Chain A
Amino acid sequence: MKVRIYITLKKSVLDTQGKAIENALNKNLGFNQISQVRQGKLVELELTESDNEKAKKIIDEICDKLLVNKIIEDYTFEVVE
């Protein structure tokens, strides 16, 4: 199955890159209708596992061990194929 994992900074954590993007959109490109920009990461991967429960366990484990720093980040994932 193909899985997409979305990693985002927790709401309480300052997102400097999001802020810089927002500034660029507002000030440099004139998109004044845009605010609250947050930037995150997308990790896409192929998993040789057909059982959804087992897949969830693996995804949780790799997020815990490497992909996500839970002090500052949250994650969600979806099975796309």
Chain B
Amino acid sequence: MKVAVISFPASNCDRDALVAVKKFTNKVEKIWHKESNLANDLDLIIIPGGFSFGDYLRSGAMASISPIMQEVKRLAERGIKIMGICNGFQILTETGLLPGVLLRNKSGKFINKNALLRVENTETAFTKNYKKNQLIKIPIAHMDGNYFADVETIKKLEDSNSIAWRYVDEYNNLSDVSNPNGSMLNIAGVFNSKKNILGSMPHPERAVDENTGSSDGIMLFESLFS
């Protein structure tokens, strides 16, 4: 399994992603966004969190036109797995590789806490080691995590089972109270229709060691590397 982690100016979770991946393989490389080539034999590309280009214009907008993203798009077409976390999710929506957009949090505030999530689809390369409807704890840290899409797109996401996880309460119930940022249908992460691309506002790479408060993210990496 060969992995690339893309770095942009002001990416800040690239190291965390590397540390998480290195629990499973040493074949991982950090790649600068100005590169215009990605190896065809990559298995996984991670677009990490951060504040690429200072969130100028819109979160993820500037990064979406970096040279490397043409390559990411090319490899996405070939079915290579791509995971965008937090700012990486924003970049993937701006690129058009994932539907919808991440708006400013409804509260207008930056939110940094452990979020409780319900795993919605366990039939993907990213989530197969989780149990259906499993309740997991994964940290969130974002200003723009309010998932928004038009009614038609939301229906398509539901019909194609493309919602990865949703914000719930400790009893695994969906509610407005358990929704930290105002996301439609409490959506915390989505797949593309082919399920080779995942975008997630919660940070699984920050939950791979009990010492950091949760290791519930490890199963995502176990799914990918098993």
Chain A residues close to B by CB (< 8 Å): 13-14, 16-17, 19-20, 41, 65-67, 69, 71-72
Residue of A nearest to B109 (CB): A16
Are B101 and A71 in contact (CB-based, < 8 A)?
yes
Residue of B nearest to A23 (CB): B108
Q: Which of A13, A66, A67 contacts B148, CB < 8 Å?
A: A13
Q: How many residue pairs between the two chains, A and B, have CB atoms under 8 Å in the bound complex?
A: 34
A50 to chain B minimum Cβ distance, whole angstroms, is 28
Task: Tally B residues with Cβ within 8 Å of A.
Answer: 18
What B residues does A69 contact at CB under 8 A? 58, 61, 94, 101
Once the chains are docked, how many angstroms separate the CA of A72 from the CA of B58? Answer: 11
**Chain B binding surface, main DSSP class:** loop
Once the chains are docked, how many angstroms separate the CA of A26 from the CA of B106? Answer: 19
Q: Which of A14, A17, A67 contacts B182, CB < 8 Å?
A: A14
Pick 28 A–B contacts, CB within 8 A, sort by A: A13-B103, A13-B148, A14-B106, A14-B146, A14-B182, A16-B103, A16-B104, A16-B105, A16-B106, A16-B107, A16-B108, A17-B104, A17-B108, A19-B108, A41-B57, A65-B65, A66-B57, A66-B61, A66-B65, A67-B57, A69-B58, A69-B61, A69-B101, A71-B148, A71-B149, A72-B101, A72-B103, A72-B148
A56 to chain B minimum Cβ distance, whole angstroms, is 21
What A residues does B101 contact at CB under 8 A? 69, 71-72
What A residues does B103 contact at CB under 8 A? 13-14, 16, 72
List residues of B (75-123) whose CB comes within 8 Å of A's CBs.
94, 100-101, 103-108
The answer to whether the Cβ of B210 comes within 8 Å of any Cβ in the partner chain is no
What A residues does B182 contact at CB under 8 A? 14
